Amino acid sequence: MSRRTGAAVKTGLGERAGRMPFVVMKFGGTSVANVERIRNVARHVKREVEAGNKVAVVVSAMAGATNQLVAWVREASPLHDAREYDAVVATGEQVTAGLLAIVLQSMGITARSWQGWQVPIVTDNAHGVARIRDIPGAALRTRLEQGEVAVITGFQGIEPARNRVSTLGRGGSDTSAVALAVAVKADLCDIYTDVDGVYTTDPRIVPQAKRLPKISYEEMLEMASQGSKVLQTRSVELAMVHNMRVRVLSSFTPPEDVTPVDPATWDRIGTIICDEDEIVEQRVVSGIAYAKDEAKITLLNIADKPGIAAAVFGPLADANINVDMIVQNLSADGKSTDITFTVQGSELPRALEVLKKVAAKLGAFDIKSSNDVAKVSVIGIGMRSHAGVAAQMFKALGEKGINILAISTSEIKISVLIDAAYAELAVRTLHGLYELGKD
Ligand code: ADP
Ligand code: ASP
Ligand code: MG
């Protein structure tokens, strides 16, 4: 049963009779890496337009462009103003949106580029990691209804109080696409990338990985949040809340080999992210995710008394630092103990700053930290009803000599923290263990 009981389960596209599907198409960085690839993207768009479908396109910056912009900001000053960071890094998408509109026009298609603020895509004020609050978009909808293709910059919006450009966090164009699909009531949100779907694990690490024809919102949410960067976590959350169908497919499949979105055939290629009730064939484990951007912090000889955990984790939460796994040792003498936990690797310097202040207040404790750790996760909704998945996992890792530093679980996921050097071996081992490469 779906956790969202009562939510209407869609049965197909084009439910409103006589209406051609309304599609949002998103193209990631590798798909728009140069003008030739932008022409290829335009051919995908043209196919949909010629079939009579209404199309809004969301584009990322050219591959590597955002990294370059971020590097320039950091070079300018390691401690920089978040609003100016956004002013710089949002520019990558402006280039590709304009170029795609130009190419589409040159093919005889009515198209216009839109920057986030022009739509407008309204966000909160958390610059660099902003969340979309609203997409009023009446003008956009009118133009789409008239058959004009809208090419919209992904990854960005506008923070209305200060009237500043904001960005949604790395990989945020996926979220722009899903949010727009929800706002314009699209039938489908197609995410075109450099792989032809969501695989049982990253196909770059395990060549035997298999494409999943369908994956549930819940599993995809865990995959994304545990490190599978094929979709930004927030985009899956949004799709799940609004029951928006998302399909992941490759822009490198020749445009003429892809059938225009059609109620009868749309689910024959790529991976559909959908309600679990729509998935007939269920496995216990659906996929393996890994995250290398992890850091481990250990507090040694910290007082073992009520209120200590709150005193440590409260200030970290106040600083907006997400703590993931937490392990507290049994105290041998009843007076002091050790606590180990993980944060995102990029948050480590800030976390250490906060903890130094905590240590000064609580009485000294030692702090050890390391960036050389990775998290590997096994995900599957079948775990709700099957015991023994964790035991098998720990045994297989043990047999490969991989030491587990911390463990965390949810109803449909088991994650272990291990030495970063073993991350790929662990992913391959677990992929084999659960026979995910088999048909
Ligand atoms: P884009 O630039 O199109 O947004 P990304 O690089 O963000 O593309 O995401 C696509 C990449 O995600 C793939 O190239 C692949 O290496 C990686 N990836 C990680 N886990 C998976 C998975 N389970 N299935 C497919 N791709 C995955
Ligand atoms: N260009 C942005 C990034 O590289 C957003 C995206 O591609 O989704 O993070
Ligand atoms: Mg991406």
**Distance from C-alpha of 10 to C-alpha of 344, rounded to nearest angstrom:** 37
The residue whose C-alpha atom lies closest to atom 9 belonging to ligand 1 is 230
Kindly list the strands in the beta sheet with 188-193, ordered across the sheet, starting from the edge strand earlier in the chain: 111-114, 149-153, 54-59, 22-27, 188-193, 246-250, 271-274, 214-216
In short, whether 427's Cβ falls inside 6 Å of ligand 1 is: no
Please indicate whether residue 249, judged by its CB atom, sits closer than 6 Å to ligand 1.
no
For 106, how many CA atoms within 13 A lie in the half-sphere containing its CB? 11
Kindly tell me if the per-residue pLDDT of 4 is higher than 50: no
**Residue having the nearest C-alpha atom to atom 5 of ligand 1:** 230
Backbone phi and psi for residue 294, each to the nearest 5 degrees, phi listed first:
-120, 150
Which residues, including other chains, have CB under 8 Å from residue 257's CB and lie 6 or more apart?
Answer: none
Ramachandran assignment for 182, one of left (phi > 0), alpha (psi -120 to 50 degrees), beta (any other):
alpha
Is it true that the peptide bond before 120 is cis, omega within 30 degrees of 0? yes
**One CATH from 3.30.559.10, 3.30.70.20, 3.40.1160.10, 2.60.40.10 for 22-195+230-277:** 3.40.1160.10
**6 has a pLDDT exceeding 90:** no
Q: Which of 271-280, 356-365, 389-398 ranks highest by mean pLDDT?
A: 389-398
Tell me, in angstroms, the distance from the centre of ligand 3 to residue 131's CA.
17
Q: Is 7 exposed, middle or buried (0-12, 13-18, 19+ CB in 10 A)?
A: middle
Domain-wise residue ranges, the chain = 22-195+230-277, 287-433
Candidate from 27, 30, 155, 166 with most ligand 2 atoms within 8 A of CB, to mutate: 155
Q: 80 in ligand 2 pocket by Cβ < 6 Å?
A: no
CATH topology match: 22-195+230-277 vs 287-433: no
Cβ(227) – ligand 2 distance below 6 Å: no
For residue 60, pLDDT beyond 80: yes
Residue (of 6, 228, 241) closest to 132 by Cα position: 241
What pLDDT does 144 receive?
A: 92
pLDDT tens, 201-221? 999 999 999 999 999 999 999
Tell the CATH superfamily of the 287-433 domain. Answer: VC0802-like (3.30.2130.10)
Provide the mean pLDDT of the chain. Answer: 92
Q: Is the pLDDT of residue 11 over 90?
A: no
Percent of the chain with pLDDT over 70: 96
Does the Cβ of 175 fall within 6 Å of ligand 2?
Answer: no
Q: How many angstroms separate the first and last alpha carbons of the chain?
A: 26
More confident residue, 155 or 337: 155
